[in-house]
Amino acid sequence: MRVAVVAVGKIREKFWLEALREYEKRLSAYVDLEMVEVADEPDRDEMSPGEVEALLSREADRIERWLRPRDGVIALDIDGEALSSEAWSERYDRLCAAGYGRLVFVVGGSRGLHPRIKRRAAFRWSFGPITLPHALARVVLLEQLYRGIRILRGEPYHK
């Protein structure tokens, strides 16, 4: 399966990059993985709703440049569906069988994702109501993708 992760913002910390590389290496036995970072927008603590909308729209424009018509988009969204690892594995299996050209996981910036990206999503996935640093969310995403594939294949990883 072809899989892409399109994430807003650049990771600079070595320890996060090392964790991502480890899961990219593990996943390479199962999927053709592409990792894409798109620029985030300058953000301020105090922004009007219109300013936030404009920020999210500009980030969405950058995300959409990487999306193709036949992609199955999975948006990481705090308001999405939270799944156990086993349920995620089953959902991944259904997404793979749905005939998409590739699965594209989208990780938004600090303000989340624009509604048009959420509407485009075949599935909106939540890691629960907690707030994660975006770099950690990417690591959790790759780990859960790897774990879900291993569960699906009946391979010894899930504990």
- 142 annotated as a binding-site residue: no
- 129 annotated as a binding-site residue: yes
- 151 annotated as a binding-site residue: no
- 33 annotated as a binding-site residue: no
Give the closest residue to 95 by CA, choosing from 41, 131, 145: 145
- 109 annotated as a binding-site residue: no
- 113 annotated as a binding-site residue: no
**Cβ distance 71 to 104 under 8 Å?**
yes
- 56 annotated as a binding-site residue: no
- 132 annotated as a binding-site residue: yes
| 43-50: Cβ within 8 A, 24+ apart | 43/109, 43/110, 43/111
Residue 121 token pair: 């999503």
Distance CA 100, CA 104 (A): 10
Question: Residues forming the annotated binding site for S-adenosyl-L-methionine?
Answer: 76, 108, 127-132
Question: Residues forming the annotated binding site?
Answer: 76, 108, 127-132
